[in-house]
Chains A and B, each alone.
Chain A
């Protein structure tokens, strides 16, 4: 038996969240006294795959079929299921991305496995297989015992540090699951990529700079963007800002938007409604900048500045630009 990790590429490189999944997979393999194999699909550089050895992955099964460059659930499931069978994998590890969670759920049905998404800890394996998952929109944790023979885990982003196991390069083996046209029946007709500010994906970002109604209008968003650029951060916004069409909906973080868990979340002109907190409360460090000292967000913050964004943010941009990288 072994542990199988699914790694996702973005622009040919392996996503940070997948390096976290690889770390998790290796650590579970260590616990169970076995090895961790990765499976990769579509457009990923082979040297990036070999470097997964740093996270302790010994072997990578790589299906380079170009039809897999876009996510097609049925085809992905077939490839990963075949890899799981070949490797006799009893633990399958994904990152908790749209793709990872989707494929994980379908595999749970196909392989008759137990699934936990949003997982934040390694399993406790004395008397079961118990993982902790984030629930109630970050307001609580649940311990879940995965009782089936096959366990499928989607690891919450930024929940664990990427480890360097220090092993050599992973061997990369070509892999194919004999896909047919039927597997691509629900393939996308068209893919429209956003202009991701400076190439930083919001859900993968280590730093997020977010703006609210306190910025008074979309014409002032250069404050958010310039600070984000100086820090190498992604930009985000609150729900009212998306509802007012100041910013696109895919930037909306909160209970009914995207949940993020970066190392640093900087909120500018956001009062901190409980629904907004639900989307950002897993951030490691929260900074709140608001001119209202009574803004509820300060209660959830690690650092706060009471002041006008138009005053404060330019000072932050200046200080951030002065940092030696």
Chain B
């Protein structure tokens, strides 16, 4: 079983979000970067499948050199090797193009990633990769199991319920809870990760279809209006007459 797990390098969930250069780029100053939390569900599920059935897990990141500490972390958690496409991940189409190009060279049995990244929240790349490769993309998947060597069984969240889908390998799936329980790397993992192969390749194509022009932040809230707990019912009146949401 050859599994490709795509990870993105994103600001930690508690980061303050700021922009620089006339609000044209994200301010990385003082920001801690982590493996996108959604991608971690995909990574740990891939490692679990490898442990159960054998095979390899390759981690792929489209990003610049500053993503390497988190690529090493993925290796420490249990991936076997890694590929970094050396490029600024400009938009989803560009990233999907890179993943599809790597996938075409390597015949993976499954390509996994998170359901979205917590920075750009696009939720686009997985379906684009599936379409580019002409294979099914199951998005978002909350469960992933192998039925046999050529078939997987997934649960997909839909609005108001879930679906059970069986697909032939290869396929693309995006992970969300409760697919797996993310792991913390242990000391042995951290030591072995240092010598695991991390290949850096140059990007293909380069067309940008969604050009990020500028960023802004939402307006600050006007402050909270407190209501006395004794007269809690007053809240309902305010929600109707003042906020006009009831």
Contacts and interface: CB of A to CB of B under 8 A. Distances in A.
Interface of A: 10, 70-71, 73-74, 77, 97-99, 101-102, 104-106, 108-110, 113-118, 130, 133-148, 185-194, 196, 201, 203-204, 206-207, 231, 242, 249-250, 252, 255-257, 259, 263-264, 274-275, 278, 281, 284-285, 287-288, 298-308, 311-312, 315-316, 318-320, 323
Nearest to A97: B159
A115 B124 contact: yes
A253 B17 CA distance: 21
A176 B167 CA distance: 26
Nearest to B100: A109
5 contacts: A146-B210, A285-B243, A287-B239, A304-B227, A319-B234
Contact of A101 (B123, B177, B215, B236): B123
Given A104-B124, A319-B233, 4 more contacts: A113-B209, A118-B121, A141-B215, A304-B227
A134 B238 contact: no
B93 to A, nearest CB: 7
B184 interface: no
Among A252, A255, A288, A315, residue most surrounded by chain B Cβ atoms (within 10 Å) = A315
B68 interface: no
B60 to A, nearest CB: 18
A305 B227 contact: yes
Contact of B124 (A108, A287, A323): A108
B239 A285 contact: yes
B198 interface: no
A145 B211 contact: yes
Contacts of B213: 130, 142-145
B93 A108 contact: yes
Given A249-B142, A252-B177, A191 B131 contact: no
B37 A263 contact: no
Nearest to B125: A105
A140 B229 contact: no
Nearest to B135: A186
Contacts of B178: 249
Interface in B213-227: 213-218, 221-222, 224-227
B240 A102 contact: no
B13 A255 contact: yes
B158 interface: yes
A108 B125 CA distance: 11
B246 interface: yes
Contacts of A71: 158, 163
B210 A264 contact: no
A302 B159 contact: no
Interface in B228-246: 228-229, 232-240, 243, 245-246
B226 A191 contact: no
B209 A285 contact: no
B133 to A, nearest CB: 10
Contacts of A196: 160
Contact of B236 (A188, A192, A316): A316
B161 interface: yes
A146 B209 contact: yes
A138 B246 contact: no
Contact of A134 (B118, B121, B237): B121
